[in-house]
């Protein structure tokens, strides 16, 4: 069938794809290079946008649950649901500040007051250890006293960094709210770039990922609460100084899996070493037992049932996230791994076909 016959039959001229010229290929390569160059220079802003969008996805099941509540004939819309969510978070933070923060603030104030005297006592204890002969304790003591005497100066120089961090947090909160409000429109716009026959499959796949990513927040919050409460109880029982502050710190830092708990337990060991090596041993035994319980029981029961990821996948995701974006990368590594795992399972993993054992006709007869 020639072009004229096709035109007479369909009423429209045939569309003939033109081969791409060398100029278009060069322009395309230049555009990709320019986009990568621009993305590298604004990588911090892109990370902030990605983290905000990720938290919006994680919180959307909560927003939908609030919108499903009905009081008579009235039910809250999405804007009211987000407002109620923010109100609940603000109420939880207020209760935490009123009831949990006073002992924490008292411990921090006591730590700042005793830092100049307790530091040298700790160094004296370290000096008595066998391996301390190779450590220049005098220089370490001088640096510690210098830090204690010039703490205000260090704090003044770090105000700029703290201000930038607070600004990033506020920006992330605002972006998260906007993503929850208008994310559906942006999501449909992004789906419009894909062919219609593939759009439905991608939409269904991302919906499955959203459900699993939403469960991650509940699982991670449970692990943080368990570690914070158990460590506070143990530190109070062992009479470790600043027990409440250390317990809250361990719970909060547990949002960074593995690394956060390690940092907080090292700090707890140093504080326990100020008083006695027996308390150091107690803290070490507690964390060794808790690490085994969390690894063998809590994490499989809580995280695997929620996000359905193997332990090796979680560790690899944490390493890559920390290497790419530091603390923030480690925080969002697990939900990002969930998203990647769902996409890989849908588009790349080819399950083995189930072959039923067919009986030969002779055996049937």
Task: Kindly report, residue by residue over 115-160, the tens digit of the pLDDT.
Answer: 666 666 666 666 666 555 555 555 655 555 555 555 555 545 555 5
pLDDT tens profile 176-225: 888 888 888 888 888 888 888 888 888 888 888 888 887 777 788 888 88
Dihedral of CA 28/34/37/41: which sign?
negative
In this predicted model, which residue has the larger pLDDT, 339 or 365? 339
Residues near 85 by Cβ (< 8 Å), separated by ≥ 6? 59, 62, 63, 66
Domain ranges of the chain: 101-142+197-347
pLDDT at residue 364, as a whole number: 43
Say if residues 226 and 303 touch (Cβ distance below 8 Å): no
- The yes-or-no verdict on residue 263 having pLDDT over 70 is yes
Rounded to an integer, what distance in angstroms lies between the CA atom of residue 28 and that of residue 25? 5
Helices (H), 150-158: 151-157
pTM, 2 dp: 0.65
Instruction: Provide the strand spans (E) within the chain.
Output: none
| Average pLDDT over every residue of 78-95 | 86
pLDDT at residue 154, as a whole number: 52
Rounded to an integer, what distance in angstroms lies between the CA atom of residue 331 and that of residue 53? 14
Dihedral of CA 28/31/37/43: which sign?
negative
pLDDT at residue 125, as a whole number: 62
Number of neighbours of residue 344 by Cβ within 10 angstroms: 10
Confidence of residue 244 (pLDDT cuts 50, 70, 90): confident
Of 18-32, 92-106, 148-162, minimum mean pLDDT range = 148-162
Number of neighbours of residue 101 by Cβ within 10 angstroms: 16
Helical pair 196-238 and 159-191, crossing angle rounded to 10 deg: 150
Rounded to an integer, what distance in angstroms lies between the CA atom of residue 350 and that of residue 58? 28
Assigned token pair, 102: 């006073």
- The yes-or-no verdict on residue 310 having pLDDT over 60 is yes
Say if residues 228 and 96 touch (Cβ distance below 8 Å): no
For the chain, the C-alpha Rg in angstroms (whole number) is 29
Mean pLDDT of the chain: 75
């Amino acid at each position: 069938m020639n072009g004229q016959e096709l035109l007479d039959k369909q009423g429209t001229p045939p569309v003939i794809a033109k081969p791409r010229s060398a100029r278009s290929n060069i322009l395309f390569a230049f555009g990709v290079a320019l986009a990568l160059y621009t993305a590298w220079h604004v990588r911090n802003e892109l990370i902030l946008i990605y983290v905000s969008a990720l938290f919006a996805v994680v919180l959307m099941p909560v927003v939908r649950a609030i919108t499903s509540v009905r009081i008579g004939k009235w039910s809250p819309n999405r804007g009211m649901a987000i407002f109620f969510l923010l109100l609940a978070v603000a109420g939880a933070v207020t209760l935490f500040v009123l009831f949990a923060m006073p002992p924490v603030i008292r411990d921090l104030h006591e730590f700042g007051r005793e830092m100049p005297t307790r530091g040298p006592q700790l160094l004296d204890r370290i000096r008595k250890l066998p391996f301390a002969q190779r450590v220049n304790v005098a220089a370490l003591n001088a640096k510690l006293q210098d830090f204690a005497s010039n703490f205000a100066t260090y704090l003044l120089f770090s105000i700029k960094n703290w201000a930038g961090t607070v600004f990033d947090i506020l920006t992330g909160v605002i972006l998260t709210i906007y993503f929850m409000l208008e994310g559906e429109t942006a999501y449909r716009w992004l789906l419009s770039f894909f062919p219609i026959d593939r759009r439905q499959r991608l939409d269904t796949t991302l919906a499955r990922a959203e459900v699993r990513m939403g469960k991650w927040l509940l699982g991670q919050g449970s692990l943080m609460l368990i570690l914070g409460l158990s460590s506070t109880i143990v530190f109070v029982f062992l009479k470790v100084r600043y027990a409440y502050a250390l317990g809250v710190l361990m719970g909060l830092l547990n949002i960074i899996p593995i690394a956060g708990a390690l940092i907080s337990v090292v700090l707890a060991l140093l504080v326990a070493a100020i008083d006695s090596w027996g308390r150091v041993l107690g803290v070490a035994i507690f964390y060794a037992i808790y690490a085994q319980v969390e690894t063998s029981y809590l994490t499989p029961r809580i995280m695997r049932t929620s996000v359905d990821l193997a332990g090796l996948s979680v560790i690899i995701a944490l390493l890559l996230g920390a290497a790419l974006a530091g603390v923030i990368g480690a925080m969002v590594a697990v939900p990002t791994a969930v998203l990647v795992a769902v996409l890989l399972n849908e588009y790349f993993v080819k399950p083995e076909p189930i072959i039923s054992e067919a009986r030969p006709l002779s055996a049937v007869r």
